[in-house]
Structure 1
């Protein structure tokens, strides 16, 4: 089979992200890791309670999130420098976290401030600390070069905090490389997969924009048969099949990957934003072949806001069913990758081909990646 090759990122970024020399080489997309020099969510804020510590992960890195009784949350490597046991099993005292084993205490910068049974300075060793921020009900860390953290902005997150929208969160874990998720959402031509949930609809490609770090595709949808689901009608408005005629464009769905995040926005025929989805795909495992999703879905409240409240459970069930169909398919793609020993995708849609190049260009070939043979 033909293996679609994708180019890696240029060498000028090698000193920061570990990219290889000016690589003209091309790599299997599923062996290209996320660039760590961005802000990645690793927990919901409400999960990290005051005076407690919470275990989280980014790729192969265990991270302990510590929230003192006062002051902001902070992030440390989740291994005590002494015997390497998880700091997340420790105790928060004041602004420090104490290891559960021998009571070594570490401050928010990772410095060991106390080895209680020796009582002198400079004995304990530090642990790694991560730049850490909170926004939109999420806790973000910067797993790359900490010197770059201040220069990299946190992402804009859906319509969290906008009283005109109602927002729900979702956080499924998937057994697949993060790139499968970007491809799945960007390619609206897969609506046949969702025929049981949405009836017979067809995506109509309306154009695209792209740049060095982003790719956006726009679609509208035409209903070819089947009843419109209630949740869909709530978001889009009532659509009916028009026998023998081309359906008018009622809304525009814009899907955008701005590396490493992805968004989906729906504007109605008047240009008003009616739905805003923001999602981050956080890699899991040293091979990054697992993904923890953090997503926020904001829906515009109708004139009578209580109607959205009444329909909220149905909307949640509808989106859950859609996502479960997507989950099954991307995990099957990952299974095929394993069984075939690499990426045998034969892509024909120009939008997805451009997206794959974007993900490769901005990612980091991992230690197992080998240049593909050309030709």
Structure 2
């Protein structure tokens, strides 16, 4: 009830309460990835989670994958420990109760009559771009909400890599980290001395986009960066011109980063979704796909691919350490003490606050700045 009332108050724009952003849950009425397609093999089950809810993914030998609550209705043991029969149903490993894709119990083998076993919850489930998505919210809304387009998966002009790190932090820290390109000092050991230059922003009810270019102030350009974006020269007597535009966009609840060259061509496309695992949503599973435009000589990108993987991994590990430090500070201080000064991040925090749902531990706070809503 608290969740529904709080969501309503935030939506109508009057007497809007402010909540600690780290107690704002993801809105469940969107499609969230919970597994890579290749992890769920034909005739097998797979255990996943969303916000404290155990999910069993089942792929029959023939037919599409489906998702059920990962608890047998009988003794609540995981259905993901069961087996898939030749009809595509999942049979509990304990007593062999069988459930179909709608969650209906179709067999209690030792009673041999219908209507005995209780059903389990089913989730709308879709497969796209190498990911398995579920719709954890109101099932009646699932067909009205589009499954997101993911980077350049399937586009032969791009080479794509996947990544799925787990982070010990609230999903909102990840949105803030990527949106705020002013933290390049953190990555000085990987990227040398570069400065982000803010070029502008666009925003709406459900999105925020910020654009940047970068100027190198010193240090050598990393090989992987040079092979993808071209050589950046040092201009001792003048500022480096805009050679690429980096656009970071949160279209709730997803986030993208695109890089266009000086001719406007898309040369890199990153898509990511931050999926909460636990009930308090302070542990996050990221699912991301990074697409890079193939150069005229494709073998150059293939040669650079391992170096690109190492480079992006090192950058991410620095970001991981920082956001987990932020989460630890939140716990130790008993709440969100961030003093934000960058207007873009203020706008992002307002977007995440009004789009998400205050959880059962949330209570209105007086410290939130109303300027974040107006930024």
TM-score, normalised to structure 1, is: 0.95
- 1:250-329 correspondence to structure 2 within 5 Å: 250-329=243-322
Residue 25 of structure 1, CA deviation = 1.1
Helix, strand or coil: the match of 2:280? coil
- Contact 2:161 2:289 (C-alpha < 8 Å) held by counterparts: yes
Alpha-carbon offset, residue 236 of structure 1? 1.3
SS in 2 for 1:57: strand
Q: How does 1:195-206 map to 2 (within 5 A)?
A: 195-206=188-199
For 1:244 and 1:303, locate their aligned partners in 2 and report how far apart those are by CA, in whole Å: 33
Q: Check if 1:24 corresponds to 2:53.
A: no
Runs of 4+ aligned residues of structure 1 deviating over 6 Å after TM superposition are none
SS of equivalent to 1:336: helix
Match of 1:65, SS state, is strand
Question: Which residue number in structure 2 is paired with residue 89 of structure 1?
Answer: 81
Cα RMSD after superposing both structures: 1.4
Give per-residue Cα distances to partners, 1:304-345, cap 9 Å, x unaligned. Answer: 001100110000000000000000000000000000000000
Cα distance in 2 between the residues matched to 1:24 and 1:12: 5
User: How far apart are 1:23 and its partner, in Å?
Assistant: 5.9
Gaps of 5+ in 2: 1-5, 369-375
* d(CA) in 1 for partners of 2:320, 2:234: 29
Secondary structure (helix, strand or coil) at the match of 1:319 reads helix
1:44 to 36, 40, 56: 36
Deviation sequence 1:96-129 (CA, Å, 0-9, x none): 0000000000000000000000011111000000
What SS is found at the alignment partner of 2:336? coil
TM-score normalised by L of structure 2: 0.95
Kindly tell me: are residues 202 and 49 of structure 1, through their superposed partners in 2, closer, same or farther at Cα, counting changes over 3 Å? same
Paired with 2:332 and 2:274, the residues of 1 have a C-alpha distance of 24
Match of 1:214 in 2: 207
Tell me the SS of whatever aligns to 2:237: coil
For the pair 1:168 / 2:176, whether they are aligned, the reply is no
Residues 31-66 of structure 1, C-alpha deviations (whole Å, 9 max, x = no match) = 000000000000000000000000000110000000
1:333 is matched with 326
Instruction: Give the conservation status (yes or no) of the 8 Å contact 2:9–2:16.
Output: no
Tell me how many residue pairs correspond in the alignment: 362
Gaps of 5+ in 1: 1-7, 15-20
Q: State the shift of 1:284 in Å.
A: 1.1
Alignment partner of 1:235 out of 228, 253, 256: 228
* Other-structure match for 1:182: 175
Asked if 2 retains the 8 angstrom alpha-carbon contact of 1:10 and 1:22, the reply is: no
Distance in 1 separating the partners of 2:347 and 2:237: 35
Task: Specify which of 68, 77, 84 is matched with residue 76 of structure 1.
Answer: 68
1:244 Cα shift?
A: 2.4
Matches within 5 A, 1:240-251: 240-251=233-244
Kept in 2: contact 1:10–1:361 (CA 8 A)? no
